[in-house]
Chain A
Amino acid sequence: MNTTAAPESHATEHGLSTAGYVRIALILAAITGLEVSTYYVDFGRLFLPALLIMMVIKFVMVVSYFMHLKFDNKVFSWLFYTGLILAVGVYCAALATFKFFG
């Protein structure tokens, strides 16, 4: 097992090398740590956007690297993201009618 190469350079047909995956996992863990820290440290007005952005980053990283979407055929991305975007759009619109965001 090659444990030295950078994740990007070792992207193969099936994704990253073991070290690459471990690296991604460490980044994810670090972000999770940062997320948890918002519970203890006051982020002020940045609190909500920061949390949401970190959530999206984690989500996209898992999907792109662990689920190989980044390396796979675009059709898979289309199928999955269609569902995801539809869900976000439709449910946010529904919540908006409940004055959820204002």
Chain B
Amino acid sequence: MFTPGSKYLIAITGLSAVSFALYMLLVHPSAIGAVALIGLLAATSLLTGITLFTRDGHASEGQTSAAALDTPTPSMWPLVGAAGFALLLVGTITTPIVFIFGIVAMLAALVEWTVQAWSERSSADVAYNAQIRQRILNPIEYPILAAVGIAVIIFSFSRVMLAINKDAGAIIFIAAAAAISLVGVLISVRPQLKKSIVGTIAVVAALGLVGAGIAGMGVGMREELVVAAQEDHYAHKECGAEKSEHFDKGVSETISATSGADATIELIDGKLTAHAQGIEGLQDSITVRRSNPINIIFRNKDAGEFRLSAYLGKTKVADGVSEDLITCTQLLPQGAEQWLTFTIAKPSVSGEPYTLSIPGLAGQSVEVVVP
């Protein structure tokens, strides 16, 4: 009991399934292609399912075709489909985004057009046909439209925020929220407000947002973020006595867990002392395991800002050239503490000890012994 419509859809579904399988198996699959084909497959199988399930919806051709064929309604979907195809072609030679837009537009056109054509043939009654179209497509259209709407708002808004500076951002953010709320209040307290005015406000706001979003995209990110991305300044530690502009900015945290510390290193009265876990008293050297992340807590109890710097031996950068391996905490103000984790793989050799020291404070160091 297959209607011609469902046969047609089954065929398309089958074809898209085959092409998807072939694409995944034979062609080197790319995410875009896979998404496109699987989208096609999803859409066609959904339509197939719907037509199959609703064949008891009086949509059989014989009953209604004669009447229906006389009343073709104007449709924008062929146009959308064509535009989608154009975008797809443009996309293949420019950027993948355009390609995806093209695919999406074509899919949407395919689905809408097919369902529209099918529904128009289902009876002679236009209202009934519209209803049947709605019945099938609304559940698909609503979520997609909602998702697109949300995505546009989120995307545009975030582009604007990225483009302007932090302070202006906060102000614009609150202004936007206030505007939305105010419009809400306005409409709410003036029930006689005309629909057209509300519509105009909505369209203007939407256009404004999208325009601002595009402008924001054009401007790109604010300079400080661009610089941050280029420099990656939190990865670059400066382990001497200098005060790094970024790395040392705003250290006031204390560590929150102390369960895994091998030793606590404290700076008190200009002296560096070690307290190894499980050993009573203070030591001037700690024995640590090789090849194991060593967690050390550095606590600055002296006035002034100090950092703990760990010398971890040398590493070969090229034949005959080696470099000191050093890691460090940030500059810590008095009373602050920070976690330092490092790993030493090779045993200590006499004469070249591994050490923990305070840059700018001579003569104070804790030896790290690795058996």
Q: How far is the CA of A100 from the CA of B259 in the complex (A)?
A: 9
A98 to B258, CA, bound (A): 8
Q: Considering only CB atoms, which chain A residue lies closest to B260 in the complex? A: A98
A98 to B257, CA, bound (A): 7
Complex CA distance for A100 and B256, rounded to whole angstroms:
6
For the complex formed, measure the closest distance between the CB of A25 and the CB atoms of chain B, giving whole angstroms: 10
Residues in B188-232 with C-beta less than 8 Å from chain A: none
Nearest neighbor of A22 in chain B, beta-carbon distance: B185
Cβ < 8 Å to B, chain A residues 6-20: none
Contacts of B257 in A (CB 8 A): 98-100
Q: Provide the residues of chain B in CB contact with A99, threshold 8 Å.
A: 257-259
Q: A65-102 toward B: CB 8 Å interface, digit per residue (1/0)?
A: 00000000000000000000000000000000011100
Interchain CA distance A6-B200 in the complex, whole Å: 37
Q: Which residues in window 256-310 of B have CB below 8 A to A?
A: 256-259
Contacts of B256 in A (CB 8 A): 100
In the bound complex, CA of A99 to CA of B260 (Å): 11
In the bound complex, residues from chain A placing their C-beta under 8 Å from that of B259 are 98-99
Q: How far is the CB of B364 from chain A (nearest CB, A)?
A: 29
Complex contacts, A100 vs chain B, CB 8 Å: 256-257
Give min CB distance, A27 to chain B, whole Å: 17
A30 to chain B, nearest CB (A): 15
CB distance from B287 to the nearest CB of A (A): 24
Minimum Cβ distance to chain A for residue B340 (Å): 18
B185 nearest CB neighbor, chain A only: A22
Q: How far is A98 from B259 in the complex, measured between Cα atoms in Å?
A: 6
Minimum CB–CB distance from B175 to chain A (whole Å) comes to 16
Q: Please, what's the 1-or-0 string for B242-262, where 1 marks a CB less than 8 Å from any CB in chain A?
A: 000000000000001111000
Question: B112-133 interface mask toward A, CB cutoff 8 Å, 1 = contact, 0 = none?
Answer: 0000000000000000000000
Chain A residue numbers with a CB within 8 Å of B258 are 99
Contact with B along A12-43 (1 / 0, CB 8 A): 00000000000000000000000000000000
Chain A residue at minimum C-beta to C-beta distance from B257: A98
- 7 A-B pairs within 8 Å (CB atoms) are namely A98-B257, A98-B259, A99-B257, A99-B258, A99-B259, A100-B256, A100-B257
Q: Which residues of A contact B (CB under 8 A)?
A: 98-100
* Residues of chain B at the chain A interface (Cβ within 8 Å): 256-259
